[in-house]
Amino acid sequence: MLRRVFQFAKTYFKDKKIVRPTIIPRPEHNISRAYISENAVKVLYRLKNSGYQAHLVGGGVRDLLLGREPKDFDIATDARPEQVKSVFRNCRLIGRRFRLAHVHFGREIIEVATFRGMQEISDSDERETENGMLLRDNVYGNIEEDALRRDFTINALYYNIEDFSVIDYAGGLSDLQAGVLRLLGDPDTRYREDPVRMIRAVRFAAKLGFRIDPVCETPLFELGELLQGVPAARLFDEVLKLFLGGTALDCFEKLRHYDLFGELFPETELSLAYEEHDFPVTFVAHGMRNTDIRVEQGKPVTPAFLFAVLLWEPVRRRADLLRSQGEAPLPAMQQAGDEVISRQVKRIAIPRRFSIAMREIWNLQHRFEHRTGKRPYRLLTHPRFRAAYDFLLLRADAGEVDQEIGTWWTRIQEVDEEERSRMLQSPEGGTKGRGRRRRRRKKPASSGEE
């Protein structure tokens, strides 16, 4: 399979005549060193002064050309990883699949990658494949080869610190101007080489507002099963990039459109196919919209909360079934959460520190139903109250629980102690003239409630 990739690459270079790149001189583009991380500039100059080529590459160049603020600054060079390490004392080499150098400046990390080559599989022991998927690829080459090894044309643009020009080997600048997302090479082959490129296509299309080239779009409907062969730990990182970048709702909708969401979250996808009270289930969509709002406002969104939202539908349905069979609310939720997470981690590796927090958010939901006596006080002081409360508001927004419950819990956090005591005397929320006091049923000994 990869032999065909490299043959195609050679043909592509020849037919497209992109061996001679388009050079955009400094006066003709908008990239300035003032907009590049100071530490990235240091790395570029240090490599250059040590006799190596040094280029800003990928998303940093793309975003700067679009007038956006880059999140990361990646550098490509002809220096081998070991040579990069010899230049920087604050450097660590990482990775097996792709050997990379990370240059540390406090909390900021500048990633430096050696130009990758296009040699045949038989020419090197540094490339390892399985069913067309690259497992290890430390074959080094020159900048021309490195350009074609990149995924999308808009990510194959280089900013040269030597003369401050932008180098375009693959027509990426014209695609950037046209708002088109196009793979370099044969899409079917490139997706098979690295199935995560399908997720990246969705993410870039949502993030940049670009349309996916039709030739690159068609395989998305056909090759989703390839994601099952991607390491679960790697998919965890990709999911965070998908949903914590400010376009979570758009990514969610596009993943479902291309039948990719079910490959990542199969039980959630199955739950979304059901209707309740003749209405489609909308909780996940509300959660993604809320995530985007929080990101826009600069508020934190933890991976635990994100995955609690993404897996809530199958957990809720399983817990409801267990409750209908006579199980108490807390044990039902605990069992449902354990079952769903244990199956989900086979697709996406959720670190234990997040799965524990997810379970706590879910397990606290039934306690919001109790609004009299001392139990609300105990819930208000729970370490995970705020996350569970935000989760409750999402449920209310999606119509899963009564809005009045969310309003009550919002109000009780705002009022003084006297008003709070009055509210806790009425299960209807303490509103004057509303409802009547409900008799408390004696708690069964086997209820399992906290």
Q: Give the CATH number for residue 275.
A: 1.10.3090.10
| Within a domain: 246 | no
Q: 255 lies in a domain?
A: no
pLDDT for the residue numbered 62: 97
Q: What is the pLDDT of residue 429?
A: 47
pLDDT of residue 137: 53
User: Structurally, how many domains does the chain consist of?
Assistant: 2
Point out the catalytic residue in the list 72, 188, 390, 397: 72
Do 186 and 275 sit in the same domain of this protein? no
pLDDT tens for residues 225-248? 999 999 999 999 999 999 999 999
Q: Provide the pLDDT confidence category of residue 430 given band limits of 50, 70 and 90.
A: very low
Among 137, 146, 151, 186, which one carries the catalytic annotation?
Answer: 151
Question: Do residue 41 and residue 159 come from a single domain?
Answer: yes
Domain-located, residue 10: yes
Dump pLDDT digits (tens) for 185-241: 999 999 999 999 999 999 999 999 999 999 999 999 999 999 999 999 999 999 999
166 and 287 share a domain?
Answer: no
pLDDT at 97: 67
Query: Is 292 in the active site?
Result: no
The verdict on residue 251 lying in a domain is no
Asked if residue 211 belongs to a domain, the reply is no
User: Does 417 share its domain with 295?
Assistant: yes
**How much is the pTM?**
0.84
**188 plus 291 within the same structural domain:** no
Task: Answer yes or no: do 44 and 124 share one domain.
Answer: yes
Q: Do 275 and 162 belong to one domain?
A: no
Task: Calculate mean pLDDT across residues 305-309.
Answer: 97
Of the residues 173, 193, 213, which one is the last residue of a structural domain?
193
Is 70 exceeded by the pLDDT of residue 3? no
In a domain, 154, yes or no: yes
Asked if the structure places residue 248 within a domain, the reply is: no
3-class secondary structure per residue, the chain: CHHHHHHHHHHHHHHHCCCCCEEECHHHCCCCHHHCCHHHHHHHHHHHHCCCCEEEECHHHHHHHCCCCCCCCEEEECCCHHHHHHHCCCEEEECCCCCEEEEEECCEEEEEEECECCCCHHHCCCEEEECCEEEEECCECCHHHHHHHCCEHHHCEEEECCCCEEEECCCHHHHHHHCEECECCCHHHHHHHCCHHHHHHHHHHHHHCCEECHHHHHHHHCCHHHHHHCCHHHHHHHHHHHHCCCCHHHHHHHHHHCCCHHHHCHHHHHHHCCEECCEECCHHHHHHHHHHHHHHCCCCCCHHHHHHHHHHHHHHHHHHHHHHCCCCHHHHHHHHHHHHHHHHCCCCCCCHHHHHHHHHHHHCHHHHHCCCCCHHHHHHCCCCHHHHHHHHHHHHHCCCCCHHHHHHHHHHCCCCHHHHHHHCCCCCCCCCCCCCCCCCCCCCCCCCCC
- Domain range for 315 is 261-423
Answer with the one of 193, 215, 245 that is the final residue of a domain: 193
Model pLDDT, residue 315:
97
- 71, pLDDT greater than 60: yes
Residues 159 and 55 in one domain: yes
- For the stretch 378-394, pLDDT in tens is 999 999 999 999 999 99
Q: Final residue of a domain: which of 193, 212, 240? A: 193
Residue 5 has pLDDT above 80, yes or no: no
Q: What is the mean pLDDT of residues 255-283?
A: 86
What's residue 121's pLDDT? 41
pLDDT higher than threshold 70 for residue 377: yes
pLDDT score, position 15 = 45
Task: Report the CATH number at residue 49.
Answer: 3.30.460.10
120 domain-assigned: yes
* Predicted local confidence at residue 282, as pLDDT: 87
Shared domain for 289 and 387, answered yes or no, is yes
Co-location of 187 and 270 in the same domain: no
pLDDT tens, position by position, 131-154: 544 444 568 999 999 998 899 999
Q: What is the pLDDT of residue 273?
A: 85
Confidence category of residue 277, pLDDT binned at 50, 70, 90:
low
Mean pLDDT of the chain: 87
Same domain, 374 and 290: yes
| Same domain membership, residue 306 and residue 166 | no
Active-site residue 15, yes or no? no
Is residue 259 among the annotated active site residues? no
